[in-house]
Structure formats: structure tokens, C-alpha cells
Amino acid sequence: MTRNWAGTYDYTAPRIVPVWSEADVVRAMAGDGPVHALGTRHSFTDLPDTTGTLLDLSGLEGGFELREGEVRVAAGTRYGVLAAWLDERGLALHNLGSLPHISVAGATATGTHGSGDAQGVLTTAVRGIRFVDAGAEVREVRRGDPDFAALAVGLGAYGVVVSLDIETRPAYRMRQDVYRGVSWDAALTDLDAVTGSGYSVSVFTRWEASSVGWVWVKSRLDADDDPVPGTLLDGVLDIDAEPLGGLADVTELRGAPGPWMLRLPHFRLDGTPSFGDEIQSEYFVSREHAPAALRAMLELGDLIRPLLFVSELRTAAADDLWLSPAYGQDVVAIHFTWRNDPVGVAAVLPRVESALAPFGARPHWGKRHGFERMALERVHPRLAQARAVFGRLDPDGRFGNAHLERVGVREAR
């Protein structure tokens, strides 16, 4: 497959080489010329592309090894596969993204996230990174090492990650409930009441003035019969709700208790994720600015809706990872799942980004946006330092590409 999973980006690399082991990666790196890693193809831009060789890591799976409080897992392993393996052993992760289909290395390298006021992005669970550098040497970096904060959300800019050590915790049970009818006035007056109503909360909206849409609450359970509130602010519990328009492969709703790994994602691993033929964009604003930023998006609702499947609002806790979307601040993420209309999306994104600019919005690294180097340096205060680390580890620029140069993650060569 030479396209991303949604069919909305075509890779231009002249060679795509599958790898199945760490040794394969070392052999592939033994030559020279540009190289980049390609995971489960969930980026929507040329971020993972190259003028040289793309190493397809989708076959670099498994390799599970339990250690004290963590699991070592091969880079191409999908989160849903890792989650099932852990759950069988009574273990869990702190969070999962909406799609369990994404690879552990690709998701953590781009700062991908689930939701939850107290939950960090997926990368915050990474304790160690094992990678092959530009000289085909295998190296490891651990949390607390000098370069870790730069490399954790590393965008493929310094090497090919072959495995990760990810923090685990005891398994837990959850349920999913959906509320409708929450007004924008109530939500923006007390946003904490909405986003704090469960362990992980997502708001699905089409920016209509009548209400926020659907509030999808994922609650961690002490017991399967834990009570659930019948109201949320001025909204009500809806046991028949279909917050994604009746998509067939959504994880089980209606308050049915179940294991964490079948409730935290929105979609089932054995099904089709999201809408499919789509383009995605996402922006992160600090919690203090979130109500004003959401009002700015509401004002653009008539412009946005014709191009939109749905928007999703989620939250993440602050962290200390230099290129994380939540570096230094708790954030609200404003996500757009667009119809496959590249011309229309390209026309509306400048309006969205201009409206969000006063709030210091940061774009998701792997999704469609119009930010370039200067704009990103304004909102990512450690970008120049991360760029210096990547340049030190890869002085010849083997892992650079046009996208990384354009956004200021690597210097042009």
C-alpha cells in the first residue's frame, strides 16, 4: 500500500522496504542516503515520507517482554494488540487513542493521545526507547536520560525506533455512557464539569448553536454496578445515543461494563476505524484559553460544517516532553475529521488557524495543518533545542525530509 490508511496521502518515496526485525533495520541502515520509518500509515501529511527509503515497520510486531512495571514491545505493534496481550495477564495501559489500530512507535513519536483531564498523551507512558541511529548502531535512551525529553516525541527525526518500554498498571474495568443536550453556554461556563465527568471524555460536535452535540463519557469502575448520573449539566443520559452517526464498528456503549481495552478506544480493532475516506486536523490549546478558543470555532461553524464529518474535543494533562502538544500545559484538543475534499480543507484551515492563533494553538504533528517553522517556534518553546539534539545524533541528515525541514524540526540540507 502506497497511501495512508484513509487513502488521502500518496507516499512519494522511490522505495518502500518491509522490515520484520531489529536486524532487518540494521541491515537497511548499513548503506547511505535518506531513510524514514513508516508505521501503520495514520499520518495525513508527508511527515513520514522521504526521497530515499521508507522502512515499513508494520511487520515489526510483538516481542513482548514484561519487566518491572513495564512491557517491552516491538515498534510496529498496534496498540489494540498490545492491550489484549496485557489484559490477558491482568495488566493495562494508562490510556489508549480513539483508534486501537495505530502503532506504538508512530503514535508516541507524534504525541498522539486519548482523553482525560488527568491522563497524559500516550508518550508519557514511555520509559525507554530502543532505536537504530544513522550509523546503523543500536542505541537506547531511558526516561531521565539527558536526551529523552527531546526524543520521546521524536517524529522519526533522529533514528528508526525498533522497540519501546511502556509503563503498565493493573487492569481495570470501564463503561461508556453518552449524554445529549448539553448547551454551549453551560459547557463553556463549566468546562471542567464536562471534561471531568469521567476517566476519559470526548465531546463530538458539529459546531451547531443548539447544543455541543454528544458527550461520550468513559468511566473507570470500582464495581460493575457503580451508579451513573442521569444528567450532565443541562444535558441528559441517552442510552440509545449514536455519537458517530451509527458507525458499525464503535466499541460497546449503553453503560455495558467491560475491560479497559474494549472501552477506552472508540473503535474495535477488528473493525474499520473512523469514517475512512477522510482528512484530519487537530489543534491543542491550554485549558485556560479553551472556552474562548471554542467560542471562536463556533463563530466559524457555518464555514466548517459543509466540509466536516465531525469534530471531537478531548483533554490531556501537562508533561515535560519537548515536542509534546501538552508540553508545559494542560490542554484541550480540538479535532476535525474532514470529508475528503483537499481543496475545501486547504481553504478553511487558514481561517481555523487564524481564529486559534491568539490562544497559542499547537497543531498535531501528524495531521493536516498550515504551520511552518516560525509559527511552530512561537508555540513550541523547546523546538530549537530538539532540533539541535536531532542534528547531533544525525549530522548528515539521513532522517530529515521536506516536511521536517518545513516545520523546523530539522535544518535544511
Last residue of some domain: 338, 354, 370? 370
Q: Are residues 125 and 200 in the same domain?
A: no
Gap between the terminal Cα atoms of the chain: 29
Indicate the number of domains in the chain: 2
Q: Are residues 95 and 187 in the same domain?
A: no
Distance CA 123, CA 216 (A): 23
Distance CA 141, CA 237 (A): 46
136: left (phi over 0), alpha (psi -120 to 50) or beta: left
Q: Are residues 259 and 363 in the same domain?
A: yes
**Beta-bridge partners for 8:** none
Distance CA 41, CA 43 (A): 6
Q: Does 270 reside within a domain?
A: yes
Last residue of some domain: 171, 190, 218? 171
Last residue of some domain: 171, 189, 207? 171
Q: Side chain identity at 341, as an amino acid letter?
A: D
Q: Does 9 reside within a domain?
A: no
Q: What is the CATH number of the domain that holds 159?
A: 3.30.465.10
Distance CA 11, CA 123 (A): 25
The range of the structural domain enclosing residue 355 comes to 173-370
> What does pTM read for this prediction?
0.96
Task: Give residue 325's pLDDT.
Answer: 98
| Residues listed for the chain | 413
Q: Are residues 100 and 202 in the same domain?
A: no
Q: What does the pLDDT profile of the chain (413 residues) look like in tens digits?
A: 587 767 777 888 899 999 999 999 999 998 889 999 988 887 778 888 899 999 999 999 999 999 999 999 999 999 999 999 999 999 999 999 999 989 999 999 999 999 999 999 999 999 999 999 999 999 999 999 999 999 999 999 999 999 999 999 999 999 999 999 999 999 999 999 999 999 999 999 999 999 999 999 999 999 999 999 999 999 999 998 888 877 778 899 999 999 999 999 999 988 777 777 889 999 999 999 999 999 999 999 999 999 999 999 999 999 999 999 999 999 999 999 999 999 999 999 999 999 999 999 999 999 999 999 999 999 999 999 999 999 999 999 999 999 999 999 999 87
Q: Does 394 reside within a domain?
A: no
Q: What is the CATH number of the domain that holds 324?
A: 3.30.70.2520
Q: Are residues 66 and 209 in the same domain?
A: no
The single residue listed with the C-alpha cell 458527550 is 215
Give the closest residue to 34 by CA, choosing from 352, 406, 316, 404: 404
Q: Does 21 reside within a domain?
A: no
For 255-265, the pLDDT digits (tens) are 999 999 999 99
Q: Are residues 259 and 332 in the same domain?
A: yes
Q: Does 6 reside within a domain?
A: no
- C-alpha cell at position 184: 454551549
- Coil, helix or strand for 179? strand
